[in-house]
């Protein structure tokens, strides 16, 4: 089998989040943007992937269309492991993190979709079997900033059946308001996206202790300061989560060895796809670190994350961003009901995109590499 064509679809979908949108992690979110990656083969099987993401999509798309995609044309899509290694070596001088790796991630996800379709099995079966037909999801809230609004939205998530709620807030008052709204029995997490020095992070971790966070995510700038992160973890009492900005397996190994984290959060559309994420899952298990993948997207990367979480031996959590999309090419597949998301049962990722929705929300024509 050979890869014949790779198409890219830049889809931008309006959404609302129950309150005015705030800037965070240096990003604005006027729409939820996805880069869908469609890999065609000479066997007539099409695979879908997703490459990260949001405001960087034009750069990811350029990397995919000019360099990463052409490299894959003519290659055998069934040779996933060896092809992943070969591609990573071919691209390494252009950076081990960022748009080139995001583009590679999108294609790798599509190759696993093709593998599932060839086998006639859902991706979770290829990954060793889905222990559960539904995965537990945590509501991951956008930034709301105002404590009153943070409390209101966090409370709404509990009313919808979530038992785990994650904030993206920088103020102690906002976290406190959320804790008061969700009560003592709901797990509350806070993701701050790398804002603080180690000294500031130590101080903030202490100040946040009364809110009894289930985890504090990315407290330290820069994300590659694994020693600084380890200092915050060892001095504090709050579990520490990180990994969405890591560069591959070896960045995680370094964090495990330095004692930086309790929870590893590789992102399937950023880290090198399913192939790289599987290796990180095995390494995390070997170091007794919990794995909760980063999943701040709504395309095939989200579907892949559902299957990955379903196939893990431990009953871990799936990130579920709270954003009411105007429409989705994947229908309601990623929506949580009573805090759980169903594992798709079709072959591969399990759900094909609705091309009418893709075309309606696509920014310009599809890009094509052949």
Those residues with Cβ within 8 angstroms of residue 307's Cβ, 6 or more apart along the chain or in another chain: 122, 123, 124, 127, 130, 343, 344, 349, 350
- Complex with Mg ion: residue 191 or 342, whichever CB lies closer: 191
- Complex with Mg ion: residue 239 or 346, whichever CB lies closer: 239
Q: Please identify, among the stretches 92-100, 183-191, 224-232, 297-305, the one whose residues bind Mg ion according to the rule CB under 5 A.
A: 183-191
Would you say 106 and 273 are in contact if contact means Cβ atoms under 8 Å apart? yes
Task: Give min distance, CB of 254 to Mg ion, in A.
Answer: 19
Task: Give min distance, CB of 117 to Mg ion, in A.
Answer: 31
Q: Name the nearest CA neighbour of 142 among 247, 54, 212.
A: 54
Q: Name the nearest CA neighbour of 64 among 50, 78, 46, 81.
A: 50
Task: Give min distance, CB of 267 to Mg ion, in A.
Answer: 9
Number of residues this chain uses to bind Mg ion (CB under 5 A): 1
Would you say 286 and 260 are in contact if contact means Cβ atoms under 8 Å apart? no
Site map (CB under 5 A) of Mg ion, residues 5-24, x = contact: --------------------
Q: Please identify, among the stretches 30-38, 187-195, 306-314, 342-350, the one whose residues bind Mg ion according to the rule CB under 5 A.
A: 187-195
- Complex with Mg ion: residue 301 or 350, whichever CB lies closer: 301
Q: Please identify, among the stretches 145-153, 189-197, 247-255, 280-288, the one whose residues bind Mg ion according to the rule CB under 5 A.
A: 189-197
- Complex with Mg ion: residue 33 or 191, whichever CB lies closer: 191
List 108, 169, 191, 342, residue binding Mg ion (CB under 5 A): 191
Task: Give min distance, CB of 351 to Mg ion, in A.
Answer: 25
Task: Give min distance, CB of 217 to Mg ion, in A.
Answer: 5
Interaction of residue 169 with Mg ion, rule CB under 5 A: no
- Complex with Mg ion: residue 10 or 52, whichever CB lies closer: 52
CB crowding 73-108: b at 16 or more within 10 Å, else e: eebebeebeebbeebbeebeeeeebbbbbbbbbbbb
Q: Please identify, among the stretches 6-14, 114-122, 186-194, 312-320, the one whose residues bind Mg ion according to the rule CB under 5 A.
A: 186-194
CA–CA separation, 272 and 104 (whole Å): 6
- Residue nearest Mg ion by beta-carbon distance: 191
Task: Give min distance, CB of 291 to Mg ion, in A.
Answer: 14
Binding region for Mg ion (CB under 5 A)? 191
């Amino acid at each position: 089998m050979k890869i014949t064509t790779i198409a890219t679809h830049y889809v931008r979908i309006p959404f609302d989040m129950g309150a005015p949108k705030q800037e965070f992690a240096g990003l604005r979110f006027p729409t939820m943007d996805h880069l869908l990656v469609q890999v065609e083969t000479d066997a007539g099987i099409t695979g879908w992937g997703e490459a990260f993401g949001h405001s960087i999509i034009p750069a990811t798309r350029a990397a995919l269309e000019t360099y990463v995609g052409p490299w894959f044309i003519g290659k055998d899509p069934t040779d996933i492991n060896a092809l992943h290694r070969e591609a990573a070596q071919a691209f390494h001088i252009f950076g081990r993190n960022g748009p080139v790796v995001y583009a590679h991630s999108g294609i790798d996800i599509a190759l696993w979709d093709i593998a599932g379709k060839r086998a006639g099995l859902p991706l979770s079966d290829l990954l060793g079997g889905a222990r559960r037909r539904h995965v537990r999801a945590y509501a991951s809230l956008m930034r709301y900033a105002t404590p009153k609004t943070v409390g209101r939205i966090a409370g709404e998530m509990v009313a919808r059946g979530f038992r785990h709620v994650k904030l993206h807030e920088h103020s102690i008052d906002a976290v406190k308001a959320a804790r008061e709204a969700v009560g003592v029995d709901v797990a509350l997490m806070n993701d701050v996206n790398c804002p603080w020095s180690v000294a500031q992070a130590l101080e903030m971790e202490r100040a946040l202790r009364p809110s009894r966070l289930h985890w504090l995510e990315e407290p330290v700038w820069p994300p590659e300061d694994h020693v600084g992160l380890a200092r915050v973890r060892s001095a504090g009492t709050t579990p520490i989560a990180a990994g969405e900005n890591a560069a591959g397996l070896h960045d995680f190994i370094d964090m495990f060895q330095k004692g930086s984290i309790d929870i590893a959060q590789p992102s399937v559309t950023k880290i090198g796809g399913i192939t790289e994420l599987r290796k990180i899952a095995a390494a995390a298990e070997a170091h007794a670190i919990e794995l909760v993948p980063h999943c701040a997207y709504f395309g095939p990367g989200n579907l892949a994350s559902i299957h990955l979480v379903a196939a893990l031996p431990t009953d871990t959590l799936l990130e579920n961003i709270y954003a009411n999309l105007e429409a989705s090419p994947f229908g309601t597949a990623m929506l949580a009901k009573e805090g759980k998301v169903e594992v798709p049962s079709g072959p591969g990722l399990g759900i094909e995109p609705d091309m009418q929705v893709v075309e309606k929300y696509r920014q310009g024509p599809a890009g094509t590499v052949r």
